[in-house]
Amino acid sequence: MTDQKYAYVGKSPVAGNGLFAEKDIPAGELILSISRPLVGALDVSRLADTCANCFIWTAGPSIITGTYVDEGVSVKKCSGCQQLRYCSKKCQRQSWKRYHKDECDLIDNMDGKQLPKVVRATIQILSTQAKGLINDNIWSPFLRLESHINEMRASGDQWADIQLMAQGAHNFSGARYAFDLQFATEVFARVLTNCMTLVTPTLDPLGICLDPIAACANHSCDPNAFVVMDGPGLSFRSLKPIKKDEEIFISYVDVTNPHARRQYELKHRWFFSCRCSKCRKGPTLQEDLFNFTPDELDQRWRETADHLLKVTKFADDPSNWVGAGPEARRISVLQGVAFDEYEEAQALSDPKAAADKLQHGMLLCHQTKLWPVYRQPYAAMRHDFLVNTVSTGNLPLAFAQGARTYFTIDPILYPETHHPVRVVHNWTLAMLTLYISSEQDNVIVKSMLEIGINTGIIAYGLLYEVASNVDKSHGNSSSFAKAVHRKMDEVIVDMTRGNSGALRGMMDKIKEEWPVFEQLGKWLEY
Ligand SMILES: [Zn+2]
Ligand SMILES: [Zn+2]
Ligand SMILES: [Zn+2]
């Protein structure tokens, strides 16, 4: 359901349909808001702690990022299938009426086995449509979405899996008499092609969602807009100023990744070669550059790379492509190992194990001397390392890593101060710093104070920065912006209690403190 929009669907010179601005839109403003996408399906690992109807996530990875959820919100199991959970009776009723009535028995009979999320999303769509519950102004645009079914059919192995899953969705849906298998397969392919990652306001992945209007937005590696989500709501917001009738682009992949990796991901999943302004310049931009050319790799790392070339296939993976010739292949294999460590760490649920793996990957980037600090996956590993290090309790180390990201990485990767990734990183760091500053009896906090690191002032400065940008990144009525402003008010009340002049000259104090804070990140070896 579209709530507010300053965008229209039109023919795109890039591909098929696209979204276009209805008026001039300055940076940091709402373009389009959708109160509920057509369909949303949670990751299996999120079923236990997230409402299956409004997608409120009741457990964060740490005390830090979970704070936008009101205290006391919890989810209860559906008494039928014992698998889906809801935050309220209202959510349970809505979900039951739309599709869960058909799905509940089925899930219950699966002996704890879980259906993949794309299958569940397809079942939801088929069941809901069979009951006539999808409005025609949603259903018609859905049917017009690109399915890429011919490319999928031509892809060999992948096609066999797709057919099997589409067949499952058709059989399991309460709609197998309403729609034939071919139609179900097309719906499945359309979900696969057009779904977005369902995320929390702090960008933690929860599952997938699909909305036919949102799905019209095309991709660019240099986008002028981004998507943020808030429970079941989804909004497009402007990253840069957009002129009336200009096409609105978002990114389907992480655009801080190197050219070859972006191209591979886009080709593999969406079957197109990106020809955006960045991609047309080839692998020549900051995302691609290493500190030196392949022939300058030192002897020790040449030997390591030659060994890795024998025992792994990373250098043959097109997403790791660096260049032709034996020297470039050495860099490809090292890059492959780094991305592999990063991806493997993401799959680990134990924070200690994940932090160890990330540390290993970061050391590789550091010791080969190849990586600038902002080049991927070095930069992404550092943020995940911070989050996992918080969970294992090493707060000072997490704090120093955060300082490094704040000063030397994020301003380069996300030059707009209201970029949602930058705002969320700063929020995480602000909450961590606030927590550290509240532990006044802690030996480390005391010793930091002795060398002039005033965590109270740093926390205030960071929070002030988040509060100044969050209305642009998330919108002032979003639950995240409200949580940020509430926290800011709380901190002000705390700081001025018994000393009404405590905030006087605060901006000057922050200015003095900032070089000390920056130094903290520089002390790290890697
Ligand atoms: Zn709910
Ligand atoms: Zn159920
Ligand atoms: Zn591109």
Dump pLDDT digits (tens) for 311-363.
999 999 999 999 989 999 999 999 999 999 999 999 998 999 999 999 999 99
CA of 242 to the centre of ligand 3 (A): 19
Closest CA to 5 of 137, 194, 145, 201: 137
User: Which tokens hold the place of 35?
Assistant: 């109160």
Please name which of 95, 96, 76 lies closest in space to residue 86, comparing C-alpha atoms.
76
pLDDT at residue 72, as a whole number? 76
pLDDT of residue 60: 64
Question: At 248, which helix (H) or strand (E)?
Answer: strand 247-250
Residue 40 CA to ligand 1 centre (angstroms): 13
How far is ligand 3, taken at its centre, from the CA of residue 312, in Å?
A: 28
Distance between Cα 103 and ligand 2 center (Å): 7
Ligand nearest to the CA of 260: 3
CA of 50 to the centre of ligand 1 (A): 8
Closest CA to 255 of 216, 205, 210, 219: 219
pLDDT of residue 62: 53
pLDDT of residue 64: 60
pLDDT tens track for 132-148 = 889 999 999 999 999 99
Give the ligand whose atoms come closest to the C-alpha of residue 52: 1
Q: Which residues of the chain have pLDDT under 70?
A: 1-3, 60-68, 109, 111-112
CA of 67 relative to ligand 1 center, distance in Å: 17
Ligand that comes closest to the CA of residue 91: 1
Q: What is the Cα–Cα distance from 515 to 372, expressed in whole angstroms? A: 21
How far apart are the CA of 230 and the centre of ligand 1, in A?
Answer: 12
Q: In terms of C-beta density within 10 A (0-12 exposed, 13-18 middle, 19 or more buried), how is residue 113 classed? A: exposed
Ligand 3 centroid to Cα of residue 372, in Å, is: 21
Distance 88 CA to ligand 2 centre (A): 14
Residue 415 to residues 15, 23, 95, 281, 427, Cα–Cα distance (Å): 28, 24, 41, 19, 17
225 within 8 A of 236, measured Cβ to Cβ: yes
State the distance from the centre of ligand 2 to the C-alpha of 74, rounded, in angstroms.
17
Q: List Cβ neighbours of 409 (8 Å cut-off, separation of 6 or more).
A: 373, 374, 379, 382
- Look at residue 71 in the predicted model and tell me its pLDDT: 72
pLDDT mean across residues, the chain: 92
Prediction pTM value = 0.94
